[in-house]
Amino acid sequence: MASVSLQGISKIYPGEVHAVRDLDLEIRDGEFLVLVGPSGCGKSTTLRMIAGLENITEGTLKIGDRVVNDIHPRDRDIAMVFQNYALYPHMTVRDNMAFALKMRKVPKAQIEEQVRWAAEMLGLEPLLGRKPKALSGGQRQRVALGRAIVRKPAVFLFDEPLSNLDAKLRVETRAEIKRLHRELKTTTIYVTHDQEEAMTLGDRVVVMCDGWVRQADSPLNTYRKPADRFVAGFLGMPPMNFLEGYLETVDGKLGFASRDARLRLDEAPLDWLRGESRRPIVAGFRPECLELLDPAEGIEGQTLEATVQITEPLGSTMDVYLQTASGIRLVCRTAASPLEAGKAVAVQVLPENIHLFDPNEQGDSKSPTYYGRNLRVLESRGIAIPRLCTES
Ligand SMILES: Nc1ncnc2c1ncn2[C@@H]1O[C@H](COP(=O)(O)OP(=O)(O)O)[C@@H](O)[C@H]1O
Ligand SMILES: [Mg+2]
């Protein structure tokens, strides 16, 4: 087993394609780390650099204590599982699993022993004599997993291994991968674009965008304390609601005001924003944090008015799509109840559920501050925010 260390890693493909930008990441021995982000954000490139399948343009990569930038993939003690299984079609399951060991001239008896161990681990014994074309997609991916674990490598690398499976198999195989990790405790780096996979599998989740790391944190923290507006919007389904507006001070108390709403903010953690009224700000709140009330029950400073557009029943819960008077769309996840399109409602947002982000315009697309930073998270970490509109 081994730790993996990425220091200032960048990848520039020919044509000035900046796929990965100045990536710093320390992956603990035994950790299950997930790289997540939209298509094209640099996840596979990162993984392929760790595997040695892609040159590193800049930076230092270590596996354990060893710098491996120039080490051949075969000598890095890693095993990789791909989306498309990549099994040898002309070989049986047994031979597919034994292949890498044979190449390494492992003694025959030991190969048999390790193949038997891996097959048992994954319930593959009945399939050992078959060829890949006689297997279902799910079985093929189990064989690919078997082929990875049989070598007992120091690090597992997974690139979207579940993407070709149907929904049910995806969930089953996900649980299988989690169990394998619990039993083997092998350092694992797992790439997915699927936020649910990221949240359920990762000890730590690294959210990437445009080649940058936006946040590396526990699954719960990325959800509850997203570092910026990108992370906030990427994790969570339905996604977080955003309202553009500005800060205001009413009777000495800090609030958020937009065309549709005036909402009270928790004051205690926002001392440093005092005197920043009229500062442009984006308020964010998650769908499950909203409460729908009768318009007559509206509460000053806590509710905004909206009209129901569509409801999507999901069994015990439902998603309610709303529109404010100024035309902003919001979504609320709430307990299932009869609610008709066209009905006017008061949407309650409690102060503690409001995230505050800098507007997007700050910074530019070439820098990681492009997406509005989460001001409360910065404050909780003691990071000073430049004042924008200090009052006299
Ligand atoms: N071999 C390549 N040559 C040039 N550009 C590439 C190559 N591979 C990937 N890219 C580009 O690098 C960026 C990151 O790609 P990739 O790492 O595959 O993203 P992801 O796995 O997150 O979808 C994309 O813009 C992609 O088009
Ligand atoms: Mg990819």
pLDDT tens per residue across span 346-378? 999 999 999 999 886 555 556 655 678 898 888
Q: Which residue has the tokens 């299932």?
A: 336
- What is the reported pLDDT for 377? 86
Does pLDDT of 277 surpass 80? Answer: no
For the chain, domain boundaries: 4-233, 237-380
- What average pLDDT does the segment 11-34 reach? 97
Q: Which residue has the tokens 């640099």?
A: 42
Each residue of 69-125: pLDDT tens digit? Answer: 999 999 999 999 988 878 999 999 999 999 999 999 999 999 999 999 999 999 999
The gap from C-alpha 57 to its chain's centroid, in whole angstroms, comes to: 25
The neighbour count for residue 77, using CB atoms within 10 Å, is: 17
Q: Token pair for residue 261? A: 């709403």
Q: From the CB of 50, is ligand 1 less than 6 Å away? A: no
- What average pLDDT does the segment 38-56 reach? 97
CA-15 nearest atom, ligand 1: 4
Does pLDDT of 390 surpass 80? Answer: no
- What average pLDDT does the segment 172-180 reach? 94
Q: Which residue has the tokens 């992956």?
A: 27
Q: Token pair for residue 277? A: 């009224």
- What average pLDDT does the segment 302-330 reach? 96
> If you average pLDDT over every residue of the chain, what do you get?
92
Instruction: Give rounded-to-5 percent helix, strand, coil for the chain.
Output: 30, 30, 40
Does pLDDT of 379 surpass 70? Answer: yes
What's the CA gap between 130 and 247, in Å, rounded?
Answer: 66
Q: Token pair for residue 364? A: 């530019």
* Ligand 1: residue whose CA is nearest its atom 8: 45
Helix or strand holding residue 242 (H, E)? strand 241-250
Q: What angle do CA 166, 185, 55 make, to 5 degrees?
A: 75
Q: From the CB of 324, is ligand 1 less than 6 Å away? A: no
With contact defined as beta carbons under 8 Å apart, do 168 and 136 qualify? no
Q: Which of 20, 35, 45 to mutate to test the pocket of ligand 1 (most atoms within 8 A of CB)?
A: 45
Report residue 269's pLDDT band, with 50, 70 and 90 as the boundaries.
low
Ligand 2 centroid to residue 51 C-alpha, Å? 14
Nearest ligand to the CA of 42 is 1
CA-nearest of 242, 241, 199, 201 to 221 is 199
The architecture that CATH gives domain 237-380 is Beta Barrel (2.40)
Comparing 62-66, 305-309, 388-392, the range with the smallest average pLDDT is: 388-392
Predicted model pTM: 0.93
Each residue of 242-261: pLDDT tens digit? Answer: 999 998 887 778 899 999 98
DSSP string, 28-96: PTT-EEEEE-STTSSHHHHHHHHHTSS--SEEEEEETTEE-TTS-GGGS-EEEE-TT----TTS-HHHH
What's the CA gap between 248 and 353, in Å, rounded?
Answer: 18
- What is the reported pLDDT for 77? 94
Q: From the CB of 35, is ligand 1 less than 6 Å away? A: no
- What average pLDDT does the segment 268-293 reach? 84
- What average pLDDT does the segment 62-70 reach? 97
User: What letter does residue 109 receive in the DSSP assignment?
Assistant: H
Q: Which residue has the higher pLDDT, 170 or 268?
A: 170
Report residue 392's pLDDT band, with 50, 70 and 90 as the boundaries.
very low
- What average pLDDT does the segment 299-323 reach? 96
- What is the reported pLDDT for 47? 98
With contact defined as beta carbons under 8 Å apart, do 162 and 174 qualify? yes
**Domain 4-233 class, CATH top level:** alpha beta
Does pLDDT of 195 surpass 50? Answer: yes
DSSP string, 293-339: E-GGG--TTTEEEEEEEEEEE-SSEEEEEEEETT--EEEEEEE----
Ligand 2 centroid to residue 361 C-alpha, Å? 29
The neighbour count for residue 183, using CB atoms within 10 Å, is: 10
- What is the reported pLDDT for 276? 76
- What is the reported pLDDT for 382? 80
What's the CA gap between 87 and 93, in Å, rounded?
Answer: 9
